[in-house]
Amino acid sequence: MKNTNQVIDNFFADISNSIRKNRIIFSVALLTVVAFIPALGLPSYILRIGVMIMIYAILALGLNIPTGYTGQVSIGHAGFFSIGAYTSAILVTQAGWSMLPAMVAAAAIAGIFGFLLGLPTLRVSGTYLSICTLGFAEIVRMAVLNWDTLTNGPMGIKNIPYPTVFGVEMTLRNYGAYYMILVMLVMTSVFVHLIINSKIGRAFRSIKEDELASMMMGVFTMKYKILSFVLSAIISGMAGAFYAHFMRYIDPNSFTFDTSILILSIVILGGMGTMRGMFLGAIILVSFPEALRFLEQYRFVFYGLVLVIMMRYRPQGLLGWRSKSPYEFPKGVDPDKIARGFNNSSSQNKMI
Amino acid sequence: MSLLEITSIVKKFGGLTALNNVSLHIEEGEIVSLIGPNGAGKTTLFNILTGINEIMHGEIIFEGKAIQNKPPQDIVKLGISRTFQNIRLFQNMRVVENVLIGTHINTEYNFFDALFRTKKHRQQEILKAETAIRLLKAIGLEHRMHDYASDLSYGEQRKVEIARALATGCKLILLDEPAAGMNQQESANLLMFIRELRDNGYTVFLIEHDMNVIMNISDRIYVLDYGVMIAEGKPEEIANNPEVIKAYLGGVIEDAVS
Ligand SMILES: Nc1ncnc2c1ncn2[C@@H]1O[C@H](COP(=O)(O)OP(=O)(O)OP(=O)(O)O)[C@@H](O)[C@H]1O
Ligand SMILES: [Mg+2]
């Protein structure tokens, strides 16, 4: 299996190498294709799956920050998803807000809860932290279930208005919903890319690799662990807001343990700590149960199986290979020139 | 005033007294070694100096400031950095990224600079990348900068740890058995490099078992034996100190010195 993995890695690493070189062209091409999908005149249930894939890709990109990069495994991300969905739904249906500000508020409130959930990372880690996240999601669910006046309890919130942008309804029929979530996905991807490829992302990854060593290099690991939860929660909350308006109906059962596990499965299947993996993972895990409808009630078993098999044979995830291309230095840095520029004499000594 | 002044520190792990009334001082620009048998408490002393372990008694003054029981991040910021006896690199990160983590505390931009790719962000990233490459060049690893840390040999990994520690901009560097796992050639190069460090104004405090390294490089040596500092002096003095020889070294030292 190890060899198989290597063959896969080499194959894809070469491809990804060439993609990397033409990253912009590749992204634009891919986006164009995705943007033209609605023009194919597909039945709306297919488009709906496309929207769901994109929602879950956003959720996975969010969870990937603490779990994939920072190494803090959360099995309670349905909690943030739920908070975002309920916040936006309540603000729009009960307080008469329009959707975009409600979505911002949803992200902000989820972010506050992300901060609160990040606090236990000060004291617990590993399995214990995961249990905390599980508990958090369960508390959110119970609160939603029992806070009737606000959430309408087990009845859920019905007739949530469609997403609207500047007064235009974004539905499946006019493809608005599809393009809106696509824009949100692109924005999230760019956001994550910018943060991960900075000293912040390096700090995240160093914590996953060796928290003590990271601390010894002066990284305020607590701060960064909390930040990873906050960013993740903001992204999940935003996805939740869209979800509520897109589905037009939410109840406590929309955000259960299964949801958390699905998001985590996407991250693990795709490849923790990669962005490409989140897209593939979402495509596979969201569309599979739809394609194999008879599996529907065994979805949970299916995800469990996927996780076990992945952990056994390809723990790095489907697309979780190490890049074989050289490290990308910022523009304006010529590593070879700098490395050549100093020989073994006094001029070099100054550089230490 | 000494750069580092440790006064009667005591460290207990439950019933075990790992350090008992240990005092020492390090002057700026010195290479000071700490030797002693396994379990003597050498690494524990480093852990205390860098804020991993707390002490119940005693005082540590670095550049006139008390630093005992401060959080590790504050201590690095003040200018003490270290390497680890069991290598603790970020194995799934590139060599240059490992060194960049060392520059983290001096990389001066915030979240929004990163998000909006401000000029400050660009300048800082360029500057730190250059620093990292130069450090790797200085330690002879520039050809490995793109590799993942785990793909390097043991000896190379130790060097990356040193580069990473230096990247913090420290004044005092603590090296915990830097020559362990290195071959003759590598450890000879390391000796040269440590001297270069000293010549460039760094102060070096190292733990080492390799007597060749110790006797060759140290300005002064401290000897720790089961938590007690039993000797201090120049290499020749240590080599001829009967108590040291009795406690630990046997005939090894004379061979190394001659
Ligand atoms: N965190 C800890 N908890 C309990 N005991 C510890 C801890 N750290 C160190 N010790 C004990 O303290 C003593 C000193 O350990 P230390 O690692 O400092 O020795 P050392 O001189 O570095 O030895 P070596 O040459 O083997 O590296 C040992 O008996 C060790 O078991
Ligand atoms: Mg030790």
Per-window interface: B 41-60 vs A, CB < 8 A:
50, 52
Q: What percent of chain A has pLDDT over 70?
A: 94
Residue B107 and residue B214 in one domain: no
Given a cut of 50, is residue A7 above it in pLDDT? yes
Spatial distance between the Cα atoms of A20 and A14, rounded to a whole number of angstroms: 10
Residue B176 and residue B67 in one domain: yes
pLDDT of residue A163: 87
Ranges of residues in chain B whose predicted pLDDT is under 70? 248-258
Spatial distance between the Cα atoms of A214 and A70, rounded to a whole number of angstroms: 11
Tokens of B151: 């793909």
Nearest to B105 by CA among B71, B138, B136: B71
* Strand-pair category, B16-26 with B4-13: antiparallel
Spatial distance between the Cα atoms of B122 and B50, rounded to a whole number of angstroms: 31
Between B242 and A110, whose confidence is greater? A110
* Strand-pair category, B31-35 with A168-169: unpaired
ipTM of the modeled complex: 0.92
- Does residue B4 come out as left (phi exceeding 0), alpha (psi in the -120 to 50 range) or beta? beta
pLDDT of residue A346: 41
Nearest atom in ligand 1 to B14's CA: 4
**What is the average per-residue pLDDT within A207-225?**
96
Residue B95 and residue B136 in one domain: yes
The rounded Å distance from CA A284 to ligand 1 centre is 50
Given a cut of 90, is residue A311 above it in pLDDT? no
Q: Give the model confidence (pLDDT) of B37-84 as tens digits.
A: 999 999 999 999 999 999 999 999 999 999 999 999 999 999 999 999
Given a cut of 90, is residue A234 above it in pLDDT? yes
- Residue B183: strand, helix, or coil: coil
Nearest atom in ligand 1 to B42's CA: 21
pLDDT of residue B252: 54
pLDDT of residue A349: 44
Per-window interface: B 60-99 vs A, CB < 8 A:
72-73, 76-77, 81-82, 84, 88-94, 96-97
Tokens of A131: 């249990």
Query: Which of B117, B149, B169 lies at the terminal end of a domain, its last residue?
Result: B169
pLDDT of residue A1: 56
Tokens of A43: 């039945």
User: What is the extent of the structural domain holding B110?
Assistant: 88-169
**What is the average per-residue pLDDT within A233-237?**
97
Residue B231 and residue B189 in one domain: yes
One DSSP character per residue, A24-49 reads HHHHHHHHHHHHHGGGG---HHHHHH
pLDDT of residue A6: 79
The dihedrals phi and psi of B214, each to the nearest 5 degrees, come to: -55, -55
Q: Give the model confidence (pLDDT) of A83-97 as tens digits.
A: 999 999 999 999 989
pLDDT of residue B246: 76
Residue B70 and residue B181 in one domain: yes
The rounded Å distance from CA A308 to ligand 2 centre is 39
Between B130 and A309, whose confidence is greater? B130
When CB atoms are compared, the residue of B94, B104, B125 closest to A327 is: B94
Query: Which of B112, B142, B169 lies at the terminal end of a domain, its last residue?
Result: B169
Q: Under an 8 A CB cutoff, do B89 and A214 touch?
A: no
pLDDT of residue A82: 96
Given a cut of 60, is residue A115 above it in pLDDT? yes
- Test the A interface: residue of B49, B81, B126, B134 with most A CBs within 10 Å: B134
pLDDT of residue B248: 66
Nearest to A323 by CA among A280, A281, A271, A284: A271
The alpha-carbon radius of gyration of chain A (Å, integer) is 22
Residue B74 and residue B183 in one domain: yes
Q: What band does A316 get if pLDDT is binned at 50, 70 and 90?
A: confident
Query: Which of B110, B135, B169 lies at the terminal end of a domain, its last residue?
Result: B169
Q: Where are the alpha helices (DSSP H) in chain A?
A: 2-21, 23-36, 44-63, 78-94, 99-118, 127-146, 148-151, 176-196, 199-209, 211-216, 221-247, 257-270, 276-291, 299-313, 335-340, 346-349
Residue B130 and residue B165 in one domain: yes
Measured by CA distance, the residue closest to atom 30 of ligand 1 is B39
Residue B123 and residue B162 in one domain: yes
Chain A CA closest to residue B161: A213
Residue B101 and residue B148 in one domain: yes
Spatial distance between the Cα atoms of B253 and B258, rounded to a whole number of angstroms: 9
List ligand 1's pocket residues with C-beta within 6 A. Answer: B 13, 16, 18, 36, 38-44, 85
Given a cut of 70, is residue A343 above it in pLDDT? no
Instruction: Determine the distance in angstroms separating the CA of B246 from the nearest CA of chain A, rounded to an integer.
Output: 36
Q: The domain spanning residue B117 has which CATH number? A: 3.40.50.300
pLDDT of residue B121: 95
Q: How many distinct structural domains can be found in chain B? A: 2
Residue B222 and residue B178 in one domain: yes
pTM: 0.92
| Contact present, A211 and A65 (Cβ < 8 Å) | no
User: Which range (A28-42, A270-284, B142-156, B191-205) has the least confidence?
Assistant: A28-42
Q: Does B194 touch chain A (CB under 8 A)?
A: no
pLDDT of residue A344: 44
The alpha-carbon radius of gyration of chain B (Å, integer) is 19
Chain A residues with CB-CB distance to B under 8 A? Answer: 191, 194-195, 198-200, 202-203, 205-206, 209-210, 212-220, 227, 322, 326-327, 329-333, 335, 338-339, 342, 348-352
The pick from B11, B19, B20, B42 for probing ligand 1's pocket by mutation, whose C-beta has the most ligand atoms within 8 angstroms, reads B42
Residue B197 and residue B165 in one domain: no
Residue B101 and residue B202 in one domain: no
